[in-house]
Amino acid sequence: MTEADVIEQMVEYQDILLNGVQVFFTIVSAYVVAVWVFLRHAGFGLRLFSFFFLTLVLAFLGRVAYGSQRIHDGFVQTLIELDQSVGLSPTGDAALNNALTGIDTLIQNSMNGALVVVYIALFFLTFFARSTLRSNAQPGGSA
């Protein structure tokens, strides 16, 4: 595999990563709407099932992301080997430095931290948040 092939695949990996982020935000946004519209009035069983399903989907998405990360690590290792044998172009050197200086790790850790915070918030919204609307409320403040 040449340096150009590796760089092309790393750029494609970034596209896959951004698509994964897009899917994550879509799932979370849809779940928040579901909590607000349906689940706040639902029984515990439906809430439990919904949160279990959300957990399953996020775990699947996380597994796909983990597999993609392993492939990315292989690209970085290939760049290291190419650098040691024939040297890298400035583009290859920049891609390798991103991985070796910790920028890639910082981004991964930030995304993982955001996932944990969002997951805990969705757990709270699903099981503990109470509706602020009264079912018999009339406009003007009288019930």
* The residue to which tokens 């809430």 are assigned: 47
Per-residue pLDDT tens over the stretch 41-90:
888 999 999 999 999 999 999 898 888 889 888 999 999 999 899 988 99
Q: How far apart are the first and last CA of the chain?
A: 72
Q: Considering the entire predicted model, what is its pTM?
A: 0.76
Whole-number Å distance between alpha carbons of 87 and 71: 22
Q: What average pLDDT is seen over the chain?
A: 85
- Residue 132 is predicted with a pLDDT of 46
Burial of 79 (0-12, 13-18, 19+ CB in 10 A): buried
- What's at 45, amino acid-wise? G
**Which pLDDT belongs to residue 134?**
46
